[in-house]
Amino acid sequence: MPLDPETFDALIAAIRRFVAERLRPLEERVAEEDEVPEEIVREMREMGLFGLSIPEEFGGLGLTMGEEVRVALEFGRTTPAFRSVFGTNVGIGSQGLVMAGSDAQKAEWLPRIASGEIVTSFALTEPGAGSDSASVQTRAVRDGEVYKLSGTKRFITNADKASLFTVMARTGGEGAHGVSAFLVPADLPGVSIGKPEKKMGQQGAHVCDVNFDETPVPVGNRLGEEGEGFKIAMRVLDRGRLHIAAVCVGVAERLIADAVAYASERKQFGKALADFQLVQAMIADSKTEALAARALVLETAERKDTGEPTVLEAAAAKYFASEMVGRVADRAVQIFGGAGYIADYGIERLYRDVRLFRIYEGTSQIQQLVIARETIRNGG
């Protein structure tokens, strides 16, 4: 059930101020230190950001998908690392539990996830399983009332901060039907976390390997039945793709605003860059694409909130929005010219940051396959 309009408008206004006054001034510091300051994390907890998508009965805000993407749009106007602080709690790290968890599992974990006491993480990708997510090799072998979990997960967001992992592991034969999902506390024996990877962009948002060595996971920590893990993962990613698409739109809108401000002030040949038609063409293309992506995201979120299937539409939104923001970032660098290549202006940082959007939560090529498959299945 959506928040009443007045309450939701107040939430958006508070987030907009938080982004503008607290987060944007810290962007360069976070990029240099590769760490989000703890006082910012604390403020995010106090604002309820870790529980945006957690039902109200468990202490969250219980936002609808339409409301969640509006929040994601606002957080797109700063470095994506800030959103990643709570992003796994809102999306891939918690939604498997929300969708498929038992009453006991929800009661045990969701209140602490919503408060930010627990940071969650989603452990699907492996050294040999990325886009081919049905081929995971991490194994969970049942031994009485526990599963012995062994394997390595790679590029896991927030792994070094997480207290709880949703882990996809093989309990049966090959293929998607042999994969099950487990809730794995980080303090169980045999769990070890690798050092944060050095990345092209999104400094401050850490990804690490997670290793499991005969980790004893109680049977009661399995999500759903054996063999349902892949289905749970795909449902989680379906929602996550729409969230990421909204972030892409927010970043694009930030880049357009920065490019327009710079083009209006920068003088060449005796007039502002914004007066040149070829610069105007780049601005026009960027604005048009961002508006189209925004409309697709909001329409798909509304459709999801009515209970309609959105597999195709979520994939299309993520595909179009992530490709769109890459083009907008490239044009922004071009409009800034030499300044766009210099770190002090921040444009080159966002240019690197947005490159990841075309890869995680399913690459653009995976989205194309999903879109084509669903379109053919539905007869066009």
> Domain with 81 in it: what CATH number?
1.10.540.10
pLDDT at 130: 83
| 361 given a catalytic annotation | yes
pLDDT at 291: 98
In this structure, how many other beta carbons lie within 10 angstroms of the beta carbon of residue 378? 9
Query: Could you tell me if 208 and 330 lie in one domain?
Result: no
Select which of 126, 265, 361, 374 is catalytic: 361
Query: Could you tell me if 130 and 77 lie in one domain?
Result: no
Q: What is the CATH number of the domain that holds 163?
A: 2.40.110.10
Do the Cβ atoms of 136 and 179 come closer than 8 Å? yes
270 class by beta-carbon count within 10 Å (0-12 exposed, 13-18 middle, 19+ buried): exposed
Query: Could you tell me if 244 and 369 lie in one domain?
Result: yes
Q: Which domain holds residue 164?
A: 120-227
Please state the domain count of the chain: 3
Query: Could you tell me if 321 and 306 lie in one domain?
Result: yes
> Which of 115, 144, 169 corresponds to the end of one domain?
115
Query: Could you tell me if 245 and 319 lie in one domain?
Result: yes
Query: Could you tell me if 22 and 127 lie in one domain?
Result: no
pLDDT at 290: 98
Query: Could you tell me if 125 and 192 lie in one domain?
Result: yes
Long-range contacts of 19-25 (CB under 8 A, 24+ apart): 19/74, 19/75, 19/77, 19/78, 19/82, 20/77, 23/78, 23/79, 23/82, 24/77, 24/78
> Which of 65, 82, 115 corresponds to the end of one domain?
115
Query: Could you tell me if 241 and 369 lie in one domain?
Result: yes
pTM to 2 decimals?
0.95
Query: Could you tell me if 96 and 127 lie in one domain?
Result: no
Q: What is the CATH number of the domain that holds 346?
A: 1.20.140.10
Helix (H, G, I), strand (E, B), or coil: what is residue 37? coil
Query: Could you tell me if 279 and 347 lie in one domain?
Result: yes
Query: Could you tell me if 181 and 237 lie in one domain?
Result: no
pLDDT at 110: 97
> Which of 211, 227, 243 corresponds to the end of one domain?
227
Radius of gyration of the chain measured on its C-alpha atoms: 21
Query: Could you tell me if 215 and 290 lie in one domain?
Result: no
pLDDT at 175: 92
pLDDT along the chain (380 residues), means of 10: 89 98 97 97 97 96 97 97 96 93 97 97 93 91 97 97 97 94 98 97 96 98 96 91 97 98 97 98 98 98 96 97 98 98 95 97 96 95
